[in-house]
Structure 1
Amino acid sequence: MEQALKPIGTRLVVNRRGSTVWDVRTTAGRYAVKVGRPVPETDEHPGQDWTGVAPAREAAILQSLQAFSVYGTWEYGTWNVQPWHAGTDLYELWKPHRSGEIGIAFDLTPALACATKIASLHDSGWVHGDIQPAHCIVGADNTAAIIDLALAQGGLLPNTLEFPYPGCLVHYESPEISRSILETGTAVPTTASDVYAFGASLFISATGWRHVEYPDDAPRAVQRKAVATVPHRPVTIPGMFGKLVEAMLSPVPGDRPTSHEVCSILACAIDAAG
């Protein structure tokens, strides 16, 4: 892989629990290189094998979406190479709002750009399954990319790349996803659970608070029980934007707006503020 890319610069981005990601610069362009491996069981965390398969699965999904990606295997798992998406994630982008450095009126253009990408993914027949602020990347010209598709569900993939959906980062799980993971060990993500996750992402990016309160060091099962049973924090974001986030965080999947409705309401809020 290194010989094929011929890197002129590399930067380690992530190295945790079965996943390592590099930002790799070459004369031909800039790429994300992801390497996966199984995670052994510890006293704090159960073991998991799917992390070794995840890079290859993500690459196959990107290929099905007509996006460039290649993948292969190594001694302990799989790897992929895909274009690097330069930009800033939503949480970092809205940091000045949370710190009080600027006024309360949010620039919702980045949120609309991300929502449009999510709606387009849903139109293609896929559900992301792992939406979080770090996966919503906004470029300098307000173009967006929704990254990390390894847990996406919807299309046909080789059996060797499939594994039961393990849930996502609990901070952004919907109540029905957390409930199903607790009861069965897996779940079926939907467009509605994606909308909830995006609502939770908007909420934490705007306020700095998780959508449901639980101790920072709580075990994952305790976190999921809170998400499944405890009402979400009050949405204090003002105006049309706050009402949208409130609707996206509905505990009833059918009461949430669709991803296209999220786009429409954000566009209206931008027009109203304009």
Structure 2
Amino acid sequence: MTHPDPYDLPLSVVEALAPVTRRLVLNRRGSTVWEVGNERGRWAVKLGYPIAATRDWPAQPWTALAPAREGAVLRQITCDAVLYGVWEHGTWNVQPWREGRNLYDLWEPCRSGETPMTPGLAHAAACAEALAALHAQGWVHGDIQPAHFIIGPGGAHLIDLALACGGEVPAEYDFPYRGCLVHYESPEISRSVLASGTAVPTMQGDMYALGASLLISATGRRHVAYPDDAPRTVQRQAIVDSPHRPVTVPGVLGKLIEQMLSPVPADRPTSAEVYNELNQQRW
């Protein structure tokens, strides 16, 4: 469910960027994203606001804080110019626009069967490299999914770091980690969320999510089968109780996905190991 009318840029953002162009990119529950152009370049502007409760969904106040939390994270892990602040409905951030296509869209020909395309090892290696760079800084992403890998001429960029953990976050913008998009959630994260409502994101959880992301992007199939319309608790219980679907991706990539989807976190390869293996296979 989206906000009926996308929120426009707050005055504080307009004053900071002096926009020349703007394009609505996303308008969904709790978040509106604009692409803004000015004399200095192109920028992604994220606006967060709370999600009201509905018959099917509880209220989600944390979405109002997510842009500022992500801004605080980005300032610690990148040299890019990043701004963040508050507006009347929540918080916002401004970060450089990443040009490219996300992993799921890039591998659409693999899923459609319209062309004899197999998943590109170069794309998978670029994703693993981006995640390895984050892990090398001591950070966990916490929300790995295909849409968060933007692959362009310069490699892959990891975006949407609002749930990342690994450093200090201003208390006024912080909130508990309650899991990620269930399609990519590891069994141990799902188990913790079911038991307590929260979890601790880990690098091993990121690796499971990377395996699930590569699997669904290549095959269109989620890592575990569960009904689309089932409550989150039912979907998470399926992840805890059920083995992952068979990995039908051929070659070394399929072998690595199988390892990343291990139910035992310690048995999963690291992001650096996955990158090194894939990078060797590319040549």
User: How far did 1:232 drift?
Assistant: 0.7
1:235 equivalenced with 2:247 (yes/no): yes
User: How far did 1:268 drift?
Assistant: 2.8
User: How far did 1:233 drift?
Assistant: 0.5
* Cross-structure match for 2:261: 249
Among 72, 76, 79, the residue aligned to 2:85: 72
Output one character per residue of 1:78-98: Cα deviation in whole Å (capped at 9) or x when no partner: 001000101000111011111
User: How far did 1:224 drift?
Assistant: 0.9
* Cross-structure match for 2:23: 11
1:63 equivalenced with 2:75 (yes/no): yes
User: How far did 1:103 drift?
Assistant: 2.4
Contact 2:51 2:61 in 1 (8 A): yes
Output one character per residue of 1:183-229: Cα deviation in whole Å (capped at 9) or x when no partner: 10000010000000010000000001111111111111111111111
Distance 1:134 1:104 in 2: 20
Distance 2:211 2:119 in 1: 15
Distance 2:276 2:30 in 1: 38
Distance 1:227 1:22 in 2: 34
* Cross-structure match for 1:172: 184
User: How far did 1:104 drift?
Assistant: 4.8
Name stretches of at least 5 consecutive residues in structure 2 with no aligned partner: 1-12
* Cross-structure match for 2:111: 98
- Tell me which amino acid in the other structure corresponds to 1:59: G
Among 28, 38, 41, the residue aligned to 1:26: 38
* Cross-structure match for 1:87: 100
Distance 2:85 2:156 in 1: 27
TM-score by length of 1: 0.96
1:47 equivalenced with 2:59 (yes/no): yes
Output one character per residue of 1:245-271: Cα deviation in whole Å (capped at 9) or x when no partner: 000000110010011111112123323
- Tell me which amino acid in the other structure corresponds to 1:93: L
Among 114, 134, 150, the residue aligned to 1:121: 134
1:146 equivalenced with 2:158 (yes/no): yes
* Cross-structure match for 1:107: 120
Name stretches of at least 5 consecutive residues in structure 1 with no aligned partner: none
> Residue 71 of structure 1 aligns to a residue in which SS?
strand
> Residue 189 of structure 1 aligns to a residue in which SS?
coil
User: How far did 1:20 drift?
Assistant: 0.8
* Cross-structure match for 1:205: 217
> Residue 46 of structure 2 aligns to a residue in which SS?
strand
Distance 1:146 1:98 in 2: 23
1-10 vs 121-130, which deviates more? 1-10
Among 266, 270, 275, the residue aligned to 1:258: 270
13-22 vs 55-64, which deviates more? 13-22
> Residue 23 of structure 1 aligns to a residue in which SS?
strand
Output one character per residue of 1:136-179: Cα deviation in whole Å (capped at 9) or x when no partner: 0000x251100000000110122112110021110000010111
Distance 2:64 2:118 in 1: 43
Output one character per residue of 1:17-40: Cα deviation in whole Å (capped at 9) or x when no partner: 111111111121100000111111
Contact 1:109 1:270 in 2 (8 A): yes
Distance 1:23 1:105 in 2: 32
Distance 1:107 1:101 in 2: 16
Percent identity, please: 60
101-110 vs 11-20, which deviates more? 101-110
Alignment coverage as a number of residue pairs: 270
- Tell me which amino acid in the other structure corresponds to 1:84: W
Contact 2:109 2:117 in 1 (8 A): no
